[in-house]
Amino acid sequence: MQPKSSIVHLPVYQPGKSIEEVKRELGLERIIKLASNENPFGCSDKAKQAIQQEIENASLYPDGAAVALTEAVAKYLDVQPNQVIFGAGSDEIILMICRAFLVPGDEHIVADQTFPQYKHNADIEGAVTVEIPLLDGTHDLEAMLAAVNERTKIVWICNPNNPTGTIISQAELERFMERVPAHVLVVLDEAYCEYVMDDSFPDSMKLISQYKNVISLRTFSKIYGLASLRIGYGIGHADVIHLINQVREPFNTTRFAQAAALAAVQDQAFIADCREKNAAGIKYIEQQFERLQLKSFPAHGNFIMVDVGRPAVDMFDALLRRGIITRAGHKKYPNHLRITVGSQEQNEAMIQALESALEEDKVTS
């Protein structure tokens, strides 16, 4: 057998330990998972009811075109239904974009510390990755632009950026779009956009109405609290969405995901509440970091990246022993942990554990 040469070096995704496993191994009663940027407040009750009602139809294939959901989301965003495409998470939209646009030898441009699935999927298609260093944790749009050539097919901009949480502004993005050549697709991954409070954050729908070569990716996994159902979407020019639809599997999103997402998008009161609580959580955590003399990047999503002043993997272990799961292992930032903003109770427990781990370190060093 001869697999594609582009995949033989790829690692198989290693899931983290389950909460149950960690509890058993460490003999802990309570585990708080602040590792995957899930919504600590769950999802809308209306979404839960919609899933239950859909149970009766479990034996039937879903609507492959997700017509009702597409209409509801298009209405919410004030775009046309043919400008929206759904995937099994925005992960699948990233996969479909790579499948539709990249052939071996094409180039794509990506930040050196960002969401890994852009490079992963581009690797599978045999594309050449051009990595541009983040500047102070932020996309360096000038350097990204300078790296564009006639082989460049895609530029990925994660906004807010995972894992740093930083944003680029409307003005910066406008200047970038004015100069980027029309043959380059600019992918704005806005998985966390609903959390952003900063007024300078780009209005990507406006850019989509101006430029054909820009697409925004959104998800129901984060603020909508539906990560287990795997549903996300892309919004762009109808012609670009059509191209991506050409590589889409016929029934790529489930009935339960479609029903829940439809109810969830119509319950914006739940979203507004989560957004407020998340902003209060960030404020609390930033104040506590200041007290503990820890530096963090400006947080605009539902996570915060903090410099713990020692190898982050050691601090990860120390927090794990105290029942808090965080995320370490960022190649550019070996001393930084990415921590999801939880409920107030979870945030307080996290800070308590962090303070105790820092104290322990002082005593033992």
Q: Which of residues 40, 86, 91, 225 is near ligand PLP by CB under 6 A? A: 91
CB of 88 to ligand PLP, least distance (A): 7
User: Which alpha helices (DSSP H) does 1-41 contain, by range?
Assistant: 19-26
Number of residues lying near ligand PLP (CB under 6 A): 13
Site string for ligand PLP, 158-187 (x = CB under 6 A): x---x-------------------------
Site string for ligand PLP, 29-58 (x = CB under 6 A): --------x---------------------
Burial call 302-311: b when 16+ CB within 10 Å, e when fewer: bbbbbebeee
Q: Which of residues 62, 232, 236, 323 is near ligand PLP by CB under 6 A? A: 232
**Of 232 and 281, CB closest to ligand PLP:** 232
d(CA 214, CA 185): 6
**Residue 339 β-bridge partners:** 304
**Residue 140 β-bridge partners:** none
**Of 101 and 115, CB closest to ligand PLP:** 115
Is residue 227 near ligand PLP by the rule CB under 6 A? yes
Is residue 219 near ligand PLP by the rule CB under 6 A? yes
CB of 155 to ligand PLP, least distance (A): 15
Q: Are strands 232-235 and 295-296 parallel, antiparallel or unpaired?
A: unpaired
**Of 62 and 87, CB closest to ligand PLP:** 87
For residue 43, give every residue at least 6 positions away whose Cβ sits within 8 Å of its Cβ, in sequence order, or none. 224, 225, 226, 260, 264, 270
d(CA 286, CA 299): 9
d(CA 97, CA 104): 14
Give the residues lining the site for ligand PLP (CB under 6 A).
37, 89-91, 115, 158, 162, 189, 191, 219, 221, 227, 232
